[in-house]
Amino acid sequence: MAESIGADDPETLTDRAYRMVEELIVTLALPPETILSEQSLAARLGIGRTPIREALQRLARDGLVVILPRRGILVSQINLKTQMRLLEVRRELERLMAKGAAERATPEETAHFAAIARDMRRASDESDDITFMRLDRQFNELVSAAARNEFASRAMGLMHGLSRRFWYQHYRESGDLPLSARLHAEVAEAIATRNPDAAGKASDRLIDYIESFTRKTIAA
């Protein structure tokens, strides 16, 4: 039976379909080059085909799926060179958005950043990859909202899913989940305490780690 959403729930069925399918792709439950079907996804997730179709169109804009006319919908491949080019842009945008969030976040948002930081540290202590992935998505969405810069948010939205999927594919061989979670927590804590300079520096440390991780992956 399709999921229902209450009148006070800001998440639409399309938003929910997008979130659920993105998680399946990012965690490699739907590996690269998997052929996707609206009907099978609708049955798997308990959501109607129209929200699934709209979610797949958004995922195509994000680069996580490829829509091939008359051939179907495929989960996109993971490309190492693309990941390095993506990181060049991420460094500048993430620093800008972290500082902006520290300056402009509402009291409710700063409290949410503090909660995410606590949960990130718990995920670090427990090496909990799925919880970390979900917190990372929440963190990215909260930074995008709190920064109050729609242009930077749109640009970053195109990168987050690709980045999380790349990390999930390779972190067991080349990554350090506890360190990554702690570095995310440091950014969240700096924003929560409204310290733009600390947020920018913490963001750079996080990207330093991600670049190092990516280079190790390429060299492996």
pLDDT of 169 over the 90 cut? no
Confidence band of 3 (pLDDT split at 50, 70, 90): very low
Q: What is the pTM of this model?
A: 0.77
> What pLDDT does 220 receive?
58
- Arithmetic mean of pLDDT, 54-76: 92
Return all residues near 87 (Cβ < 8 A) that are at least 6 apart. Answer: 207, 210, 211, 214
> In terms of Cα–Cα distance, which of 21, 12, 2, 5 is closest to 137?
21
DSSP letter string, 60-83: HHTTSEEEETTTEEEEPPP-HHHH
Return all residues near 196 (Cβ < 8 A) that are at least 6 apart. Answer: 98, 99, 100, 102, 103
What digits encode the pLDDT tens for the residues 171-189? 888 778 899 999 999 999 9
**Mean pLDDT computed over every residue of the chain:** 90
Confidence band of 5 (pLDDT split at 50, 70, 90): very low
pLDDT of 58 over the 90 cut? yes
8 Å CB contact between 187 and 91: no
How many angstroms separate the CA atoms of 189 and 185, rounded?
6
Phi, psi of 112 (to 5 degrees): -70, -40
Beta bridge partners of 68: 72
Query: Could you identify the residue written with the tokens 């739907």?
Result: 30
pLDDT of 9 over the 70 cut? no
> What pLDDT does 174 receive?
76
pLDDT of 215 over the 80 cut? yes
Percent of the chain scoring above 90 in pLDDT: 72
- Arithmetic mean of pLDDT, 165-174: 84
- Arithmetic mean of pLDDT, 52-59: 96
Instruction: From residue 63, give the alpha-carbon distance in Å to each of 4, 80, 138.
Output: 28, 14, 20
Percent of the chain scoring above 70 in pLDDT: 94
Instruction: Specify the 3-state DSSP secondary structure of 209.
Output: helix
pLDDT of 8 over the 60 cut? no
What digits encode the pLDDT tens for the residues 36-53? 999 999 999 999 999 999
Instruction: From residue 133, give the alpha-carbon distance in Å to each of 27, 71, 79, 129, 199.
Output: 8, 31, 20, 6, 21
Confidence band of 6 (pLDDT split at 50, 70, 90): very low
8 Å CB contact between 154 and 77: no
